[in-house]
Amino acid sequence: VPLTGVILTRMDGDARGGAALSMRAVTGKPIKFAGMGEKLDAIEPFHPKRVAGRILGMGDVVSLVERAAESIDAEESERMAARLQKGQFDMNDLRSQLAQMRKMGGLGALAGMIPGMKKAQAAMNNSGMDDRILLRMDAMITSMTPKERARPELLNAKRKIRVAKGSGVTVQDVNKLLKMHQEMQSAMKRLKKMGGLKGMLGMLGKGGPGGGMAGIGNAIGGKDMGDMMGKMGGSLPGLPGGPNLPPGFENLLKKK
């Protein structure tokens, strides 16, 4: 059967760029699809310019926006918008943000799509950090009671031990999660002081605070990772801490 094209797998990283060139040179056939994960729904059309941009550290904003459009639920965005306007951000909100990051491909994939984040992506790989960290965070939040998720300040030493045992982590991990939540909550309060989402809209293009993503970075990779992910926050649709608002937020404001 004559070949009409090539499908490359394991393209969720940049290391397969050489393989793409080799397959094209040897077969003379175009690369039509790329596997970006382990399941069939992770197969997507191959875009050579986008892959080249990621390899060169120029990012892939088009793919980032496409993933955001596919992953972000409009109703959830409106619910989050209403809470952010009030400066509210509890563990349930944090859990939603972490789930959204996983849907969009995880930390490493997102870092590779954002211009200037090549070093951050390399740091994640060198530190052995992967999306299992996001799953562990989700497990910790799941181990909390509904009241604890709504009011994390209720978590005293005894409760932290229970959450740690229930999620298979250490108390130190629970403390890191709580610190991350505090930093993200502080970012939400700053948003409220700026006049809610309308105030944030005024910061578009001016480089807003990266407190939300910085909190995640500090919790899982220390200050250096926090600094890099603080920059990352301003480019991730749907994540707090940067100048760009989640899709649908501007439309929500127009309704009022």
Domain boundaries, the chain: 6-46, 61-255
Q: CA-CA distance, 106 to 70, in Å (whole number)? A: 14
Residue 243 has pLDDT above 50, yes or no: no
Q: Using pLDDT thresholds of 50, 70 and 90, give the confidence band for residue 172.
A: very high
Q: Is the pTM of this model over 0.85?
A: no
> What CATH code would you report for 61-255?
1.10.260.30
**3-class DSSP state for residue 132?**
helix
In the chain, helix, strand, coil percent, each to 5? 65, 5, 30
Q: Using pLDDT thresholds of 50, 70 and 90, give the confidence band for residue 160.
A: very high
**3-class DSSP state for residue 111?**
helix
Q: CA-CA distance, 112 to 232, in Å (whole number)? A: 10
For residue 166, the model assigns a pLDDT of 96
- For the ranges 26-40, 79-93, 120-134, the lowest mean pLDDT is seen at 120-134
CB-based burial, 184-213: b 16+ in 10 Å, e otherwise: bbbbbebbbebebbeebeebeeeebbbbbb
Cβ of 125: how many Cβ atoms within 10 Å? 15
Instruction: Starting at the earlier edge strand, list the strands of the sheet with 6-8.
Output: 6-8, 31-35, 43-45
Average pLDDT on 93-102 reads 83
For residue 256, the model assigns a pLDDT of 37
What DSSP designation does 6 have?
E
